[in-house]
Amino acid sequence: MEIMIVILAMIVVGLIMTYVSKLIWKDDLPVAMPNAYLVGVITAVVVGILDWVIIPAMGFSDTLKYIGIALEPALSVPIVFWIIKAARS
């Protein structure tokens, strides 16, 4: 049940960070807007699930797992947009 809450939270994080990325790049995202939201949500969900699985497997505490789930997906969305933009130019 917890993983479903994490996935729903990552969907919301992906949507919010795509909007923030749109503000950072001033409507010059490397992909069209509907696709940008899709890329943002997929990135946040994948990174959130990886944090959910990998951080405990490395032997870290649950506190660090939740900190990683809170920070890494939010930071990864703009980084993925930057990588896409760099690859296209």
What tens digit of pLDDT does each residue of 19-50 get? 998 888 887 788 888 899 999 999 999 999 99
Number of domains in the chain: 1
Range of the domain at 73: 2-88
- The pLDDT of 46-55, averaged and rounded, is 91
Read off the tokens for 81: 């947009």
Given a cut of 90, is residue 89 above it in pLDDT?
A: no
SS3 call for 61: coil
| pLDDT score recorded for residue 40 | 93
Give the angle subtended at the CA of 82 by the CAs of 70 and 42, to the nearest 5°.
50
Q: How confident is the model at residue 11 (pLDDT cuts 50, 70, 90)?
A: very high
Q: What is the mean pLDDT of the chain?
A: 89
